[in-house]
Amino acid sequence: MSYIQLNGITRRFGNVTAVDNLTLHIEKGECFSMLGPSGCGKTTTLRMVAGFEDIDEGEIRVGDRLLSSHKENFYLPPEKRDFGMVFQAFAVWPHMSVFENIAFPLRLRNLSADEIRSRTTEALRNTNLLDDADISPMDLSGGGKQRVALARALALNPDVMLLDEPLSSLDPHLREEMRFEIKDLQRKFGFSILYVTHDQSEAMALSDRIMVMRAGHVEQIDTPLNIYRKPASKFVFSFIGLSNFLKVVKSGDAVKPTGSDDAVNLPAPADVFGQSSAAVLASRPSEIDFGDDGHVRGLVKRRTYLGEIVDYAIVVGDQEVRVQKTARSPGPGPGETCGLKFLYPHWYPE
């Protein structure tokens, strides 16, 4: 049986349904990310699991514990759910030392002094904060403050960690460093992670599975690799990684990019057009090759060097296609025509 179970949960705010009949099962020890644009319902879902929001329908269980049930009119308050929580704001107390920031929630639970000291010291050790135990957290960098927040959550010995945009306040280098630290801690302690982010690279790096949400609904739940390679919808394709969407129209047996008289030299699934003559050919900029045997012809509008990557803007009909190739593979220059070969095309209805 799955460890974290969300069964048909719904949350409404007035006339707005933030989360609509969501069913989700997460395994023990799994890192599960909820990914999507602002307002899609991911943070509301996390807050319902944490107990900061009650549910309007459905139930939430963790292990053999019932946390919330609309049918049974049951609600367990957050402080009794025993979850570790880390949020975007560091939420450190400047008047307390790093040690006391971590120990304070344990004191509220009336643990013995020896237990508090032992748990706090272990949490400091596992977040590389032992040398900073006696200083104010305000003397630490942003990454250091976030380690304090992580250590405070770890000291509770949780089975579940709830992380809501925990790295968004950090600079890119620290953000990448902290991703690996969080994953290492999960492997060491075996807790489950429910992780909320709008940063696709974070979700891809950390997760065993990802749920992509849109307007309170699930678009796809899958592994990071399948989310990237086998997106279930045009929305998922557009949200994960860089993307091109070349609009095409069907005229007789020919499929042509809009604004072009040249046919696409690539078979399109017949059912993608449906009742319409329009569809979309989706592709990743890194999954397009140049060549005379290309599927479409285009004109190079711009070529930009980005270190190891060269970024091209190619005009096809009345549209632009973005292509990215390694700088070690020279391509056409501005003003030159070229063939574009789509290595892994996806087709969606327009």
pLDDT single digits (tens) 149-175: 889 999 998 999 999 988 887 788 888
Residues 295/264, Cβ–Cβ less than 8 Å: yes
Kindly state whether residues 259 and 216 are assigned to the same domain.
no
Kindly state whether residues 46 and 121 are assigned to the same domain.
yes
Kindly state whether residues 231 and 153 are assigned to the same domain.
yes
Kindly state whether residues 43 and 175 are assigned to the same domain.
yes
Mean pLDDT of 45-56: 96
Alpha helices in 240-337 (DSSP H): none
Condensed to tens digits (0 to 9), the pLDDT of residues 67-124 reads 999 999 999 999 899 899 988 777 888 899 999 999 998 998 889 999 999 999 999 9
Kindly state whether residues 191 and 295 are assigned to the same domain.
no
Kindly state whether residues 159 and 25 are assigned to the same domain.
yes
Q: Which positions ≥6 away from 29 have C-beta within 8 Å?
A: 186, 190, 191, 192
Kindly state whether residues 143 and 292 are assigned to the same domain.
no
Residues 228/236, Cβ–Cβ less than 8 Å: no
CATH assignment at residue 339: 2.40.50.140
Instruction: List the structure tokens of 102.
Output: 């971590």
**Among residues 212, 236, 260, which one ends one of the domains?**
236
List the domain range (segments joined by +) for residue 76: 4-236
What is the pTM (predicted TM-score) of this model?
0.88
Tell me the one-letter amino acid at 193.
Answer: I
CATH assignment at residue 45: 3.40.50.300
Kindly state whether residues 230 and 252 are assigned to the same domain.
no
Domain count, the chain: 2
Of 294, 296, 308, 305, give the one whose Cα is nearest residue 333.
305
What is the chain's length?
Answer: 350
Kindly state whether residues 340 and 270 are assigned to the same domain.
yes
Residue 253 confidence (pLDDT): 83
Kindly state whether residues 229 and 315 are assigned to the same domain.
no
Kindly state whether residues 122 and 77 are assigned to the same domain.
yes
Determine the Cα–Cα distance for residues 159 and 58; give it in Å rounded to an integer: 23
Determine the Cα–Cα distance for residues 52 and 320; give it in Å rounded to an integer: 46
Name the band, by pLDDT with cuts 50, 70 and 90, for residue 17.
very high
